[in-house]
Chain A
Amino acid sequence: NAGVTQTPKFQVLKTGQSMTLQCAQDMNHEYMSWYRQDPGMGLRLIHYSVGAGITDQGEVPNGYNVSRSTTEDFPLRLLSAAPSQTSVYFCASSYAYEQYFGPGTRLTVT
């Protein structure tokens, strides 16, 4: 049981490049979420999903896209990276209240 896995662990992008952050969970959780963590701001919700095929925006969705084609996977896409998207990104999943977090992806946009 691997829990929540994220790849890659580190990534450096140039402004304007695109990429996809991968997230997978093997706990059969319906709820999955993406957060970004910035110093002094805690974790802020980007997008979340209540089940396969259903997604919604969180507090800071601009510049990010998501889709949920399976229960297990919830990728986060950056279409045109900007320096303001430099952050640590965490994926989480839950059956109900308790969310389980992945190890994070540290992204730097130059």
Chain B
Amino acid sequence: QQQVKQSPQSLIVQKGGISIINCAYENTAFDYFPWYQQFPGKGPALLIAIRPDVSEKKEGRFTISFNKSAKQFSLHIMDSQPGDSATYFCAANAGGTSYGKLTFGQGTILTVHP
């Protein structure tokens, strides 16, 4: 069962544009929502994360928007750069004894053209 659904599968944007990736979850026990960035041949690396007690978190050009009632969250990349070209995964975790259990979305391949 896919408890976290991610879209789109792939995304092409021009340099300087805004990249938006969306995720929806089903399990209301989730209380931590990270985004991971993965470059070819590398392991995923944490990019930014949010807890459900806030609706938005911003770190530099990266922003997470969170809608608890809709059970949706999204990643916005402002002023997208060619170096942002990577695969992005949203994920969710229920915390506590589930700290080691991330549920991932299917991934989005982002290509930023110069």
A residues at B contact (CB < 8 Å):
4, 30-33, 35, 40-45, 48-50, 58-59, 90, 92, 94, 96-104
Contacts and interface: CB of A to CB of B under 8 A. Distances in A.
A94 B97 CA distance: 12
A102 B42 CA distance: 8
Contact of B93 (A30, A41, A97): A97
Contacts of B97: 50
Contacts of A59: 103
Given A31-B100, A35-B102, 10 more contacts: A31-B99, A40-B106, A42-B106, A45-B102, A45-B103, A58-B101, A97-B49, A98-B34, A99-B100, A101-B45
Contact of A94 (B9, B100, B103): B100
A19 B67 CA distance: 44
A48 B106 contact: no
A59 B1 CA distance: 9
Nearest to A41: B106
B9 A40 contact: yes
B66 interface: no
B43 interface: yes
Interface centre among A4, A42, A90 (most CB of B within 10 A): A42
Nearest to B4: A42
